[in-house]
Structure 1
Amino acid sequence: MPNSVLDEAYERVRHTGPERDGWLSNHVPMAAEALVRHGHGRAVHRWIDAYADRLEERPRGIRRIAAAEWRDPLGDPVRTGDWLHFFDRELAGEPWRDVLARWWPRLLPGIAAGATHGVIRVGHAVRALLDAETGPRVAELGNGLAYWAARWQPLAPPGAGPYPATDARSALDAVPRVPDQRFGIRSRLAQLADLTRWPAVAAAVPGDAADDAPTRLAAVVDAAVLRHGTHGYAAPVMLVHAATAPNAVLRALPALPPPLWQPSLAAAWAATAAVTAAYAPAEARALPPAAGPEPGEVMARALDTGDAHAIKFTDTLSDAYARSGDPVLLAVAARSVEQIAAD
């Protein structure tokens, strides 16, 4: 990956805020990382130019967050600027892996932060850092962690369990739908606590207990990608996060101590189940015919749409395709990019 292009992109938006219009996410860092990784570095600055009118200034903050008093401002978006300054200080004093390992278990229970964009932004930053440790990438990790902390939002708790697990596709089929789907994600996620089946579904992390956490988590990602091909027609943009959120966690695992892998798997599954409950329609549609362009061409199409979610979903789908080689995924990719662009 050409270091200069991605680092230039990070520097270009270093002093922009993580949100716009009150709560919508700034997608530049995530999309730029995906584009560079897939060979579209030359298009990154042009893409940012087109997105630039949606960027807002970095919040200045209200008052300093003391290291021992982090719990009170957790989940308070008014303190976003304070969190940005806080993680600037954290990362200036310690290696980024140490900061990540300390804050990951603190932030993980609030994985729904920013409609899961908090963890997604961190996942992209970690993947970039695993390629090369540079100042702009460390700073971007801090921005992602700050966004996650400011928007920290827990999901309705899972049951005490243990519950029998199954394969990821069947587990997604068992997720109940929230009853009122007229409003945004915060309204929808708030309804999870009223679903009698939610505690069991959230606790029944799919996969064979004999498999390691990365294997089980990859299966969750793959199932969510495939499900977008059958259920994405109703809310193609929002249902993307059922796949991109767990994939962000999967990308972070190599930088995390192994004892954090199992709770990461559980939280990632809960996020996937929650987004599925919030946005998957009741009826499935047939998968497209098992034929489609190669991932590189689909990413070019996603870039042509200019839509950040199309770019990020194609990035995640490319990971799934690399694992399985399933040609159905290529057709899902092409259809999903069209649906997202039209949404």
Structure 2
Amino acid sequence: MDDGILDEAYERFARTGPEWGENTLTNHGPMAVEVLVRRGLAAGVHDWVDAYLGKLSELPSVSDRITDVTWQDALGDGRRIGDWSAYFVEQMQEHPWCEVLVTWWPRLLPGIVAGATHGVIRVSHAVRTLLSGDESPAAVTELAHGLAFWAARMRSVPGATEADGTLDMNAALDSIPRITSQQGTVAVRFGQLTKMPAWPASLRALKAPSGPADVQTQLADLVAGAAARYLAHGHGSPVLLVHTATAPNAVLHTLPALPQSLWAPSLSAVWAASAAITAAYAPAQGLPRGELPTGIHADELMSYALKHSDEHVIKFADTALDAFAQSGKSEVLAAAQRVGDLIK
């Protein structure tokens, strides 16, 4: 039991915005504390929150109320994060959280790259709390804020298309092409994708799932495959490439709260997002294995991440443990240590 530590942390973060600073960096606080509590490190949450809160911005105020009639006009408008937060808080007061999630998931799925995938990731961490049995007002409000961030920062994957090929996940990951110039912002890099003839073909090359169980298997393979590939390629963009694994893991953990009719579209969307980040940020050639860490014991990984304290290290460690449980590959644990080495 966490003795209310997670709800207290959620309440403290509820007054903060989803972004902070001149570069509009993402507020990872609610996501990281969910990991720490779920992984048995609740005792370290208070100190971590105290250290993290100081750099955050306040939640923007409401400027123009969003309604069930006007919401489409506000999608992807980052200036209206406060409006979206107020809207989803109201929705959670009027409807069960699971009903709101199921209504909005397919509406937001085309914009899965929102906040460099942090929208869907924040939603997933809140859903994990709710599915664990904690349906407190603080947890429900956290889900509202996650959905609001996703809606305000909607961004699609250029050229996204359905998979209908023959490759398994690992082969499909190996076949992802790279953009010509891995320079500039996400928008600049993603803008190059549609100019590559090999791009849509690489997305289609993945075999379509045969059913709901296969969706889960392919997502787990994507998480493990992307996590393992970070080990040799993460230096290309230590922060952005973390999300090639954490985003599909977020979708995987949200599936139990969604109808199975949404599972295959969710796999398709996050496969495209993970592939796009890989194409835009991962170097074509990885570093030699001899220059990389050999790994850390699974039982020590979360303590290592908390001691490091960086939010990306904490979240990737959580994902690496999931991937290790699924694949048994020590590379994913070594990749989690590599994240810590690269992000100081």
Q: 2:221 is matched with which residue?
A: 219
Moved more, 331-340 or 200-209: 200-209
8 Å CA contact retained: 2:117, 2:247: yes
The one of 332, 336, 342 aligned to 1:333: 336
Question: Is 1:46 matched with 2:22?
Answer: no
8 Å CA contact retained: 2:112, 2:273: yes
Q: 1:102 is matched with which residue?
A: 103
Q: 1:2 is matched with which residue?
A: 2
* Aligned-pair CA distance for 1:61: 2.1
8 Å CA contact retained: 1:122, 1:141: yes
Question: Is 1:12 matched with 2:15?
Answer: no
List runs of 5+ in structure 2 lacking aligned partners.
none
- The CA distance in 2 between the partners of 1:48 and 1:190, in whole Å, is 37
SS in 2 for 1:54: coil
* Aligned-pair CA distance for 1:323: 1.3
- The CA distance in 1 between the partners of 2:163 and 2:297, in whole Å, is 41
- The CA distance in 1 between the partners of 2:59 and 2:92, in whole Å, is 18
SS in 1 for 2:236: coil
- The CA distance in 2 between the partners of 1:207 and 1:292, in whole Å, is 33
- The CA distance in 1 between the partners of 2:62 and 2:194, in whole Å, is 33
Q: How many residues align?
A: 340
SS in 2 for 1:67: coil
The one of 294, 312, 315 aligned to 2:297: 294
8 Å CA contact retained: 2:125, 2:250: yes
SS in 2 for 1:233: helix
- The CA distance in 2 between the partners of 1:101 and 1:124, in whole Å, is 16
SS in 2 for 1:186: helix
- The CA distance in 2 between the partners of 1:205 and 1:99, in whole Å, is 31
SS in 2 for 1:240: helix
8 Å CA contact retained: 1:10, 1:136: yes
8 Å CA contact retained: 1:30, 1:121: yes
- 1:145-160 equivalences in 2 (<5 Å): 145-159=147-161
Q: 2:307 is matched with which residue?
A: 304
* Aligned-pair CA distance for 1:207: 6.6
- The CA distance in 1 between the partners of 2:207 and 2:308, in whole Å, is 34
SS in 1 for 2:69: helix
List runs of 5+ in structure 1 lacking aligned partners.
none
Question: Is 1:139 matched with 2:126?
Answer: no
The one of 203, 210, 232 aligned to 1:230: 232
Moved more, 71-80 or 52-61: 52-61
Question: Is 1:285 matched with 2:291?
Answer: no
SS in 2 for 1:220: helix
8 Å CA contact retained: 1:73, 1:79: yes
- The CA distance in 1 between the partners of 2:231 and 2:207, in whole Å, is 20
Q: 1:245 is matched with which residue?
A: 247
* Aligned-pair CA distance for 1:196: 1.5
- The CA distance in 2 between the partners of 1:58 and 1:69, in whole Å, is 22
* Aligned-pair CA distance for 1:139: 0.4
- The CA distance in 2 between the partners of 1:256 and 1:338, in whole Å, is 36
TM-score (norm 2): 0.94
Structure 1 residues 44-85: Cα deviation after superposition (integer angstroms, max 9, x where no partner) = 111111112221111002111111221110000011110000
Moved more, 183-192 or 230-239: 183-192
8 Å CA contact retained: 2:17, 2:60: yes
Q: 1:90 is matched with which residue?
A: 91
- The CA distance in 1 between the partners of 2:257 and 2:319, in whole Å, is 19
RMSD of the TM alignment (CA)? 1.8
Shift of the 122–175 alpha-carbon distance from structure 1 to 2, 3 Å rule, reads same
The one of 316, 320, 324 aligned to 1:317: 320
SS in 1 for 2:227: helix
* Aligned-pair CA distance for 1:17: 0.4
Q: 1:28 is matched with which residue?
A: 29
